[in-house]
């Protein structure tokens, strides 16, 4: 198979993986909130949200994570010279953190499937932004291929994180005001 096809498949599975990661945490938020509802609502919502989470996690997110790894490794065999450059080490470090994030999401998934909500919906909203920050870091590193630009990128990520936290807090205030 030609390099461009392999690279295309890698990009497609990165996109589907991130889509799964973004949506699974949103479902975690809904599951957590459903567990706090009174019995009639909870008994309707929990099974449906559990089913949706399970299908997303096992049919889209996990396969996409594995195929991303497979095709990413294959792409790297064509571009092995990149392994001598700092940007690739940094990028692979962020990718490793993304797999750690994925693994922790699996722990949360298992807990919520068992009806245990360890985190609040607000904490999960903040957790959801970690994958966004990792996405920015990985894309900027692979496109710019420059560790000096990474310094500016890290500063931009810190700014982005601050903006995301402010957005989450504003949304929380809006929700509380709307519920009153």
Phi/psi at 106 (5° precision): -65, -40
DSSP 14-76: HHHHHHHHHHHHHHHHHHHHHHTS-HHHHHHHHHHHHHHHHHIIIIIIHHHHHHHHHHHHHHH
CA-closest candidate to residue 87, choices 78, 75, 95:
95
Residue 116 labelled as part of a binding site: no
Q: Give the C-alpha distances (Å, rounded to integers) separating 84 from 6, 145, 151.
A: 22, 12, 19
CA-closest candidate to residue 94, choices 150, 53, 51:
150
Residue 173 labelled as part of a binding site: no
Question: What whole-number distance in Å separates Cα of residue 110 and Cα of residue 126?
Answer: 19
Binding-site positions read: 10, 91
Binding-site positions for heme read: 10, 91
């Amino acid at each position: 198979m030609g390099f461009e096809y392999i690279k295309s498949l890698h990009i497609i599975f990165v996109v589907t993986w991130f889509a799964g990661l973004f949506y699974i945490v949103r479902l975690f938020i809904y599951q957590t909130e459903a567990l706090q509802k009174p019995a009639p609502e909870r008994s309707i919502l929990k099974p449906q949200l559990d089913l949706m989470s399970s299908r997303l996690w096992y049919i889209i997110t996990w396969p996409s994570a594995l195929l991303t790894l497979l095709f990413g490794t294959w792409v790297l065999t064509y571009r092995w010279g990149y392994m001598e450059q700092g940007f690739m080490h940094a990028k692979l470090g962020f990718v490793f953190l993304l797999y750690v994030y994925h693994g922790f999401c699996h722990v949360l998934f298992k807990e919520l499937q068992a009806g245990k909500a360890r985190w609040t919906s607000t904490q999960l909203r903040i957790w959801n932004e970690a994958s966004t920050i990792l996405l920015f870091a990985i894309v900027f590193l692979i496109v710019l291929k420059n560790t000096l630009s990474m310094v500016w990128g890290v500063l931009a990520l810190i700014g982005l994180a601050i903006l995301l936290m402010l957005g989450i807090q504003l949304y929380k205030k809006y929700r509380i005001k709307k519920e009153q």
